[in-house]
Amino acid sequence: MTSPEPNPSVELTTNGVGPWKGALPTEPFYDPELLERGDSRNVVDRYRYWTMEAIVADLDESRHPFHVAIENWQHDMNIGSIVRSANAFGADTVHIIGRKRWNKRGAMVTDRYQHVMYHPDVASFASWAADAALPIIAIDNVPGSVIIETFSFAPACILLFGQEGPGLSAEAIAAASHIVEISQFGSTRSLNASAAAAVAMHAWITQHATF
């Protein structure tokens, strides 16, 4: 799905765009309401004025084969930010393990464009991953981990992240085929969970994405 030449009267800006100026486009992926009142959503310029359904359909044609999974036992506020990063890096699906409710503020509405699956516990998540033939790569700085700079990610895999503070549960660590940690050089013991997730996703991107 490709858009026609951009409307030359539109001022492209991170703050959004106003109502469409000039003759209205007729392509079905445009949202008549957004064309009329403007589009202030957090989307890249190529998706301005598109319907949400059209954006999701277009993303589905180019999503990367890596998945992201997050344990959600303590209603961690980082989950929203991790979902936002997953959308930015084109992850296939985000898996929430544990509590179904999560704080969506950090997602900045990107969860509307991102496939999200829920698993009640680690066992059901691990079973799903095995059926999908997707290795689970735990991201945590625990004994037995290897540094991310030396690790080769499988093209199709799941990056598994834990809670801010306690990190991954023992059951999650046991379900992983590999454990990877991000090299650190300062005094802090760990990175913020959402920052670590973004680093890990980008590490996959540097190994497998095409540009």
pLDDT of 110 reads 95
pLDDT of 10 reads 42
Instruction: State whether 35 and 55 are in the same domain.
Output: yes
pLDDT of 2 reads 52
pLDDT of 14 reads 61
Q: What is the CATH number of the domain that holds 111?
A: 3.40.1280.10
Instruction: State whether 25 and 91 are in the same domain.
Output: no
pLDDT of 128 reads 98
pLDDT of 1 reads 59
pLDDT of 13 reads 54
| Contact indicator for 55, 28 with CB cutoff of 8 Å | no
Q: Can you give the residue range of the structural domain that contains 17?
A: 1-62
10-residue mean pLDDT series, the chain (211 residues): 47 74 96 96 93 98 98 85 97 96 92 97 98 98 94 98 89 98 92 94 97 86
